[in-house]
Amino acid sequence: MAYADYSDMSARFDANVLKDLVSDTGTPVSSLSGDTNIEAALADASGRVNSAVSSPTSAYTAAQLSAMTGDDLGYLKRIVCSLAMGYLLGRRPEKYGEDYQKILENSEIELDRLRKGEYLFATDDAKTGGLPQVDGLTITEYAQLNTIRERTKNFYPSRGVPVARQK
């Protein structure tokens, strides 16, 4: 499932240019709704985003991206639409020049930054991704164990954790 649709594309790029790009006959199409070429470009771009986030170093899964809302969804749609625009421009390099390569390179940079964690969406996992996780006792819990070493003074060696002085 694509993360964006034709209305997202026309909101971010000129609809007349898009109608010209998706046409196979040379004359612009009358409507972008249901056009197979724009749907294919958006599906390819969404697949590219899924491929980027499926790397082991990515902070996201495809399910997290599908559940996005608000500004994060808008940014995701921007990346997908930019990739799709690059793919559509690649269909007509004789007419629009080599601009599609620049658009694709910029979109790949955005995807790489997301993959590396330089840019983050506002998901709960991403917000806590850089924080240390405790998988066991904290230092406070460890110090308060009250093991036999603490109960029998001067018999067993210390664990190395300062024990609170009792009054």
Q: What is the pLDDT of residues 122-153, one digit of tens each?
A: 666 555 555 566 678 877 887 788 878 777 87
Give the chain's domain count: 2
Q: Measured between alpha carbons, how far is 139 from 123 in angstroms, rounded to an integer? A: 29
19 with 96, same domain? yes
Residue 1 in any domain: the answer is: no
Q: What is the dihedral of CA 154, 155, 160, 166, to 10 degrees?
A: -50
Could you tell me if 38 and 6 are in contact, meaning their C-beta atoms sit under 8 angstroms apart? yes
Q: What is the DSSP string of 45-87?
A: HHHHHHHHHTSTT-S--HHHHHT--HHHHHHHHHHHHHHHHHH
Could you tell me if 96 and 54 are in contact, meaning their C-beta atoms sit under 8 angstroms apart? no
Query: What proportion of the chain, given as a percentage, has pLDDT over 70?
Result: 82
Q: What is the mean pLDDT of the chain?
A: 78
**161 pLDDT exceeds 60?**
no
95 with 152, same domain? no
Q: Measured between alpha carbons, how far is 150 from 162 in angstroms, rounded to an integer? A: 10
121 with 142, same domain? no
Q: What is the dihedral of CA 14, 19, 20, 21, to 10 degrees?
A: 90
87 with 123, same domain? yes
User: What average pLDDT does the segment 160-167 reach?
Assistant: 56
**1 pLDDT exceeds 60?**
yes
Residues 6+ apart with CB under 8 A from 166: none
The boundaries of the domain holding residue 148 are 134-167
Q: State pTM to two decimals.
A: 0.67
User: What average pLDDT does the segment 40-55 reach?
Assistant: 86
52 with 95, same domain? yes
User: What average pLDDT does the segment 67-79 reach?
Assistant: 84
User: What average pLDDT does the segment 50-76 reach?
Assistant: 78
Q: What is the pLDDT of residue 43?
A: 92
Q: What is the dihedral of CA 97, 102, 108, 112, to 10 degrees?
A: 170
82-127 pLDDT, tens digit per residue, is 888 888 888 877 777 777 778 888 888 888 887 776 766 666 655 5
- Hey, is 105 helix, strand or coil? helix
